[in-house]
Amino acid sequence: MKKILILSILLLCPAALFADEIFLKGAGSFSGRITQETDAMVMINTGDGEIGVPRDRIARVVKGRSALDEYEDRAKKLKPDNVQGWKELGRWAAHAGISTQSRQAYEHVVRVSPNDMEARQALGFVFQDQKWMTEEESYRSRGYVRYQGEWMTQNEVQMHEAHQANEQAIRDAEQRAVDAEVAQVKAEQEAEAERERAEEAEDEARRWSNSLYWGGWGYGTTSWPTNYNVVRY
């Protein structure tokens, strides 16, 4: 029973068990098909594009059969007009994690059978006004516009912009209040500093007014208190 279960898993998940694996030093790995190897770099196609991995970051490389190999083998066996076969291949590729190849298979289905619902939906089309159209075409035909990464009606855009403008006005008012408070504190600090400078100047003037400066003969200068009794003749 276990052998049958393992075999079933192998058939359903070839990408996970047989892909080329590049194991990185430390942690992490890349799974896909190695397309090129040099002394400096290993290129691996993961299904959504190629990735270059520097050799000095690689711990080891394990070669195996990738989902891309399986996809190409299955595609070669399908006739161009085999719509069901190509749809099954598209589903298998999506399950295997190679979305680019899944899209390619469904695009082939649409070329053969333009109104195939599964393929159209897998490619992101919607059926509207009796025809298939892209999601963008569908939204635009209904009056929606793309705004900040989302589809909105013109009314929703106006409401959103009005809300943003209101929030900005509140932020601006708050900032003006903060600026005014900072300016007031700064003015008070400057006034206090000016008052202290005035008091210091007044104290200095008072000290000098309480003394007399005498310049005379001999060495140095002499300062006499103003309340000294000078004898006049």
pLDDT in tens, 29-86: 988 888 899 999 999 988 778 899 999 999 999 888 888 889 999 999 999 999 999 9
pLDDT of 54 reads 94
**Whether this model's pTM surpasses 0.85:** no
Q: How many angstroms separate the Cα of 157 from the Cα of each of 146, 152, 164, 166?
A: 9, 6, 10, 14
- Position 164 pLDDT exceeds 80: yes
Residue 42 contacts by C-beta under 8 Å, 6 or more apart in sequence?
22, 34, 36, 52, 53, 55, 58, 61
Q: Which of 37, 98, 42, 107 is nearest to 72 (CA)?
A: 98
Q: What is the pLDDT of residues 14-43, one digit of tens each?
A: 444 457 899 999 889 988 888 899 999 999
Q: Residue 142 has what pLDDT?
A: 86
* Per-residue pLDDT, 10: 36
Tell me how far apart the alpha carbons of residues 89 and 73 are, in angstroms, rounded to a whole number.
Answer: 11
Residue 90 has pLDDT above 90, yes or no: yes
Percent of the chain exceeding pLDDT 90 equals 40
Residue 220 has pLDDT above 60, yes or no: no
Q: Looking at residues 205-224, what average pLDDT do you find?
A: 59
User: Is 145:157 a contact under the CB 8 Å cutoff?
Assistant: yes
Tell which wins on pLDDT, 210 or 157.
157
Distance, in Å, from the CA atom of 218 to the CA atom of 185, rounded to the nearest integer, reads 55
Which token pair is 12? 């359903």
State how far the Cα of 74 lies from the Cα of 95, in Å rounded to an integer: 15
At residue 5, does pLDDT exceed 50? no
Question: Given a cut of 50, is residue 150 above it in pLDDT?
Answer: yes
* Most distant CA atoms of the chain, gap in Å: 141
pLDDT at residue 198 is higher than 70? yes
| Degrees to nearest 5, angle at CA 69 with 65 and 73 | 125
CA distance linking residue 53 with residue 28, whole number of Å: 12
What domains, with CATH codes, occur in the chain?
2-67 (2.30.30.100), 68-142 (1.25.40.10)
pLDDT of residue 229: 55
> What radius of gyration, in Å, describes the C-alpha atoms of the chain?
43
Long-range residue pairs from 14-18, CB within 8 A, at least 24 positions apart, any chain = 14/65, 14/67, 14/70, 14/96, 15/47, 15/66, 15/67, 15/70, 15/96, 15/97, 15/98, 17/64, 18/64, 18/65, 18/66, 18/70
Q: Is the pLDDT of residue 113 over 90?
A: yes
The 3-class secondary structure across 157-224, one letter per residue, is HHHHHHHHHHHHHHHHHHHHHHHHHHHHHHHHHHHHHHHHHHHHHHHHHHHHHCEEEECCCCCCCEEE
Comparing 206 with 214, which gets the higher pLDDT?
206
pLDDT reading at 191 higher than 80: yes
User: Is 129 strand, coil or helix?
Assistant: coil
